[in-house]
Structure 1
Amino acid sequence: MTWKKLDQIRRENPITDQEEYDESYAEASLAFELARLVYGLRTDAGLTQTELAKRMGTTQSSVARWESGGSLPTIDLLDRLGQAVGVRLELVASQHDPTGSKDSPSGAVAFGAR
């Protein structure tokens, strides 16, 4: 999609509910980031979708859906992903800090390969 087409779509479909828009945008952003994570870990490990699925005890089509952002993996599946590719994954909760400061208060839970 070109920027011109995107601008046209935005003009034709103005945002009427900013809160709903923000929630949808946050959900789509999460799906995109998880898709990048799954794809990156799989390719860094040199695995095909089928090989990763076998190691995780799931299906190739599930891996494909995560990588396309079509569905979100559960925490259990992320744990199995980490174990399958031999990495330790951490789930971090923090206050939104647009500067990306490392000094933000946060809590972390590690899972996956130890």
Structure 2
Amino acid sequence: MPDDASAADEPSYRVRFGRRIKAIRIEAGLSAVDVANRVGTTRNTMHRWERAEAAPHLDVLPNLAAALGCTVPEMMPDH
């Protein structure tokens, strides 16, 4: 059997989403507290989203994008 990576080895969509929003946040020079305050949530919730322990509700995505200075599609991992 070949030793190449399979689809099962790829991170889940939620993991990729968390990595993506963290990268955008860092690139924008924002702390998790900055973004959380702009979105109206807590730093802990923001960190949980970035670590893929939770995911934001769909209705939060526009506010999250605005807080990060991007669009909703730009937050998506496959953008």
Question: Could you tell me the TM-score, scaled by structure 1's length?
Answer: 0.52
More relative contact order in 1 or in 2 (CA 8 Å, sep 6+)? Answer: 2
Runs of 4+ in 1 over 2 A off after TM superposition: none
2:24 is paired with a residue whose SS is helix
Instruction: Among all aligned residue pairs of Structure 1 and Structure 2, give the percentage whose two residues are the same amino acid.
Output: 31
1:60 and 2:43 are equivalent in the alignment: yes
How far apart in 1 are the matches of 2:48 and 2:57?
13
1:21-100 alignment to 2 at 5 Å?
29-90=12-73
CA distance in 1, matches of 2:37, 2:64: 11
Aligned counterpart, 1:94 = none
5+ long unaligned stretches in structure 1:
1-24, 92-114
Gaps of 5+ in 2: 1-7, 75-79
Distance apart, 1:90 and its partner CA: 2.0
Q: Which has the higher helix share?
A: 2
Greater share of strand residues, 1 or 2?
1
**CA shift for structure 1 position 29:** 0.4
Letter of the 2:68 partner, please give it: V
Cα displacement (A) at 1:87: 1.0
Instruction: Look up the equivalent residue of 1:38 and give its one-letter code.
Output: I
What value does the CA root-mean-square deviation take over the aligned residues?
Answer: 2.0
How many residues are treated as equivalent by the alignment? 66
**Which of the pair has more CA radius of gyration?**
1
